[in-house]
Amino acid sequence: MLRDERQAALNDVIVACKEAADGYDDAATLIGDPTLAARFSEYGRQRREFAAELEDHIRRLGDLPRTPDADSEAIERLVTHLKAAFSSDERAALLREREDAEAEIGRRVADALDRDLPEETKAVLRRLALAVSEAARHLAAARAGP
């Protein structure tokens, strides 16, 4: 099945959200800070909810949602664990990884918003963009320190 540019862009957002959610779950187990672990879990839950909501929209566009590549995600988790383990500041390394994931979602959302998508889909994408912006601010503040 060939995807049109709208379907491909929306699927890219869905996959980025799912990957970020998995990354948050993994980072929550590594961070060693109960407050940040709870925040990571919350961000993971939010990204899964956005992915699920957007999956409904992709189906309305006549496509099926893609899933993240399991092998690629396993390698990403390994890289994250290694970076954290060998970093002089494990906390900062984990926060930086989460900031990068949010930036990736932001790029994917911006690309999707440039497509000819239904207004209700764009409304979800704009809400996601706001959530990404808020998360990025919190992550950067946490990395900067107390």
Residues 34-44 pLDDT 10s:
999 999 999 99
Helix/strand/coil percent split, the chain, to 5: 80, 0, 20
**DSSP code at position 114:** T
pLDDT of residue 78: 58
- Spatial neighbors of 99 by CB under 8 A, at least 6 apart, are 136, 139, 140, 143
In the chain the domains, ranked by start, together with CATH numbers, are 5-144 (1.20.1260.10)
pLDDT of residue 39: 97
Q: pLDDT at residue 83 above 70?
A: no
pLDDT of residue 103: 98
Distance CA 17, CA 46 (A): 9
What is the pLDDT confidence band of residue 59, given thresholds at 50, 70 and 90? very high
Q: pLDDT at residue 74 above 80?
A: no
pTM of this structure = 0.85
